[in-house]
Amino acid sequence: MNGVNQGESLLIIDVYALVYRAFFALPPLTTSSGRPVNAAYGFQRMLQRVLREENPTHVVACFDAGIPEERLVAVPAYKAQRPEMPDELRPQFDTVRRILDTYGIPVVEVEGEEADDCIATIVTLAEQRNLRCTVLSGDLDLLQLASPHCTVVVTKRGISDLVRYDEAAVRERFGLAPAQLPDFRGLKGDPSDNLPGVPGIGEKTAAKLIAQFGSLDNLLAHLDEVSPPRIADVLRNHADLARACRDVSRAKRTLPIQADWDAWRYRPPSPERLAALYQELEFKSLLATIATPAFAAAGDGEPVEPATEVFTPGTYRMADAADTALEVLRQAAAQEELALVPVPPITSWRTQTPLGLALAWRPGEAAIIPAALVEAHSGVGEALRLVGGPAGPAWLVFDAKNTAGWLNRHGVLAGRIAFDAMLAAGLLDPARGEPTLAQALDKTPGAQAPLPAPDAARHLFDGQRPDSGWGAAADAILRAAPVRLATIRELGLERVLLEIEQPLGPVLAQMEGVGFRLDLAELDRIRDELARDIEETTREIYRLAGEEFNLNSPKALGGILFDKLGLPASGRKTKTGYATGAEILAPLAHEHPIAAALLRYRELSKLKSTYVDALPALIDPATGRLHTTFHQLGAATGRLSSSDPNLQNIPVRSAAGRAIRRAFLPAGEGHLLLAADYSQIELRIVAHLSGDERFIEAFRRGDDIHAFTAREVFAVAPGEPVPSELRRRAKAVNFGILYGQGEAGLAAATGMTRAQAREFIAAYFARFPNIKAYVETSLAQARERGYVTTLFGRRRYLPDIRSRVHPVRAAAERMAVNAPAQGTAADLIKLAMVAAARAFATAGIGAQLVLQVHDELIADVAPQAAEIASRAVREAMTGVADLAVPLVVDEKLGPTWADAEPVA
């Protein structure tokens, strides 16, 4: 094999396992006619989620169609203990097939064979094609399929807790390779399938023996080496049973299944088909999601169906001679609008070099200019620069950030971005994240464009002259733009797209290009200090535990904490041990010092491995700097995210986290870092959105808002100081309101009893009735429309807001309260970034934005420009919106990220 085909991926669905899981995980649900649908609903939710997260190019579903005769011969009791299928579940399999049909997902089943064997055979076919695949199941038996080509995703609890297993994860859990799991199962058995295994041999012994001898056959061939002798005798007496259980556990890979890759290619269902399905099954919460992306609800709730037409490819030519390229570029520069697409499309302008640029200015006509020609011919490069000049056309693109970033390398400044297909699709369906070009064009006149696979682009430059191909990408964007923009306007998203997201793309590209210098000597010092702290903390944990153990083993840790030390376990013990996550350890820190020490050990270890050890290796040799990658569609709320590395997640509250920031230096030698942070931005937005006069006046006066809240709720007399404990409680409820926190959450955050928290919330809402009205209005809007909006019109869809499952619905309700404020804050900081970058460019000063961390902007500035840059950033951040309360910005300036001091 030559490696995994990165351009394609296959999702294989183990239908029976998932439907059973959903049936027993969800409470009974029926339609108005009494039709049971809880398992179908749960299956639909899992399918929807995995399709979104995996984004496969091919999908196939497998059903059980009997039990192979040879398995019943080998183990007559195989699956004999399984109870009769519940009457409420049996008819739901037809409903599930209806769901699969709606999604256009083909079904594979082989008479007399189990789904596991169909799945294993298809995985084998995918491996032969070098195709990356994901198996979705509720059955750990399929972990034996994990490989460099195959990942297995299994349900852990309910329908929402999914665990991903690759080879490394299988080894971590079992201490065995995936291929050894049938041998392991042959020894230990499996009660769920009625496999007895070898009497007296449990999971621990089975894993140890297979790891030691490599296989069941080798183990049985060397029983004289097994210790203790008792185990050897048991194995000798039950060798045939072990082999039989092993053979039954092996998934067959050679069923007579013919791969039909064209039929298995996934094409998302139309909103019309989904709407019909959801109406039929009365999935009202899911029906609300049909508001995105193309079957969208306008302001009056009526569906808006986009215009559709068949895509007929036009004439796409290669402009690989200088005179032809110059003619194309002169014609392009004279247009009002121009579609531009790097060939092939890129996901990182810093690390990927496209082979060319496709341009289209009228439907059916496009040209491709090789990048090499732009670099080799100065006249072509100059003509291309005119395309981005002030008098040039408005750009229609896919992914403005990466398009602008790459073209900047050729000296082409981003022109006016009139339409970004990626951002438009992302706003219409914010839960999807960053769509591919094909997904972004879905349900538009460009949807059927014949887009080649990304690796096919190399053929454009080896003498071939295709009459379609990547020229169709630019053509498709050109045709899609009017339809997508019409939908954007219908939904009130025009300002978010045209004034916030599209202008931000080139700004982010510039920020990615600036980056930070790293003080490697400082990182070495921090590394040594962290290593000492980790060693000391480890010794302290061993002392408190009374023994040494593997600190990174949840099973070993659970035994120490809950079995040996007798600390209260918040979850019941399972086969794999106790839960020992941070949410478990944090409350225990008050019970025993070992919990606090463990939390410190984990924090120190993460800082060392994730940042101190990893960051130096990420320095770009070409620039000598550290560069992050920003994602405009990184969160459904509109917030930016960053990756490779994630610089928004360096802890700031701990001394060790702050120390790491000291190693971040401005990219420019002798420059300074200017940090500007919105003060209590989300609370200010809630004050504005709610119209609560008390809150508004407090912000206008410049009061300490938490002390003000405590004074109001607890009736602290004027002139009397507010006790710190009351201020802490007021702060907890102020932020708790933002996140839809109830009495249980407030009690946990403050140490109050639930009764006290209930009284505090009641007193808070009585004192601030408009805040209560804001919360209730947000919930009512979400329940009525299926979404809430920011001040600028950005939508957050909440399909679970009408769920009958309380925890699922409660989570959606918390989002409904928080999303308008958090999303508005995201909109404001993005507007401020655009304004600040424009101000820097207009002033022509030595200042550039370099990072955004939620409510904070960081700029790289020359010392002589610091005062002007500070004023420009402050004006940009405070002037982006006219709210009922002032927007306040705190600024710091210094030689490193950590050493910045407040600006007077």
Give the DSSP per-residue string, 696-712. Answer: HHHHHHT--HHHHHHHH
Q: Output the pLDDT for position 742.
A: 75
pLDDT at 18 > cutoff 50: yes
Nearest one of 839, 837, 859 to 850, comparing CA atoms: 859
For residues 418 and 403, the answer to whether their CB atoms sit within 8 Å is no
Q: Output the pLDDT for position 292.
A: 41
Mean pLDDT of 60-74: 86
Per-residue model confidence as pLDDT tens digits over 104-130: 899 998 888 899 999 999 999 998 888
Q: Output the pLDDT for position 726.
A: 87
Per-residue model confidence as pLDDT tens digits over 36-50: 888 999 899 889 888
Single-letter code of the amino acid located at 709: T
Q: Output the pLDDT for position 795.
A: 93
pLDDT at 290 > cutoff 70: no
Q: Output the pLDDT for position 455.
A: 52
Nearest one of 743, 739, 744, 713 to 728, comparing CA atoms: 713
Burial class (CB in 10 A: 0-12, 13-18, 19+), 359: buried
Q: Output the pLDDT for position 417.
A: 93
Q: Which residues, at least 6 apart from 438, have a Cβ–Cβ distance to it below 8 Å? A: 451
Please state the φ and ψ torsions of residue 343, each to the nearest 5 degrees.
-115, 115
Name the residue with tokens 């009922």. 884
Mean pLDDT is lowest, of 76-80, 86-90, 501-505, for 76-80
Q: Output the pLDDT for position 667.
A: 94
Q: Output the pLDDT for position 570.
A: 63
pLDDT at 299 > cutoff 60: no
pLDDT band at 33 (very low <50, low <70, confident <90, very high): confident
pLDDT at 734 > cutoff 70: yes
Per-residue model confidence as pLDDT tens digits over 613-649: 889 988 999 999 999 999 998 788 899 988 888 898 8
pLDDT band at 298 (very low <50, low <70, confident <90, very high): very low
pLDDT at 329 > cutoff 90: yes
pLDDT at 893 > cutoff 80: yes
3-state secondary structure of 892: strand
Burial class (CB in 10 A: 0-12, 13-18, 19+), 472: buried
- Percentage of residues in the chain having pLDDT higher than 70: 93
Q: Output the pLDDT for position 90.
A: 84
pLDDT at 754 > cutoff 70: yes
pLDDT at 688 > cutoff 50: yes
- Percentage of residues in the chain having pLDDT higher than 90: 44
pLDDT band at 366 (very low <50, low <70, confident <90, very high): very high
Q: How far is CA 438 from CA 123, 133, 475, 480, 614, in A?
A: 25, 20, 13, 11, 35
Identify the bridge partners of residue 152 per DSSP, sorted by sequence position: 135, 165
pLDDT at 32 > cutoff 80: no
Mean pLDDT is lowest, of 39-48, 56-65, 501-510, 807-816, for 807-816
Question: What does pTM read for this prediction?
Answer: 0.68
Q: Output the pLDDT for position 680.
A: 93
Mean pLDDT is lowest, of 559-573, 667-681, 808-822, 851-865, for 559-573
Per-residue model confidence as pLDDT tens digits over 144-198: 999 988 999 988 765 666 788 988 889 888 899 999 999 999 998 887 787 888 8
Give the DSSP per-residue string, 26-63. Answer: S---B-TT--B-HHHHHHHHHHHHHHHHH--SEEEEE-
- Residue count (the chain): 904
**Summary mean pLDDT of the chain:** 86
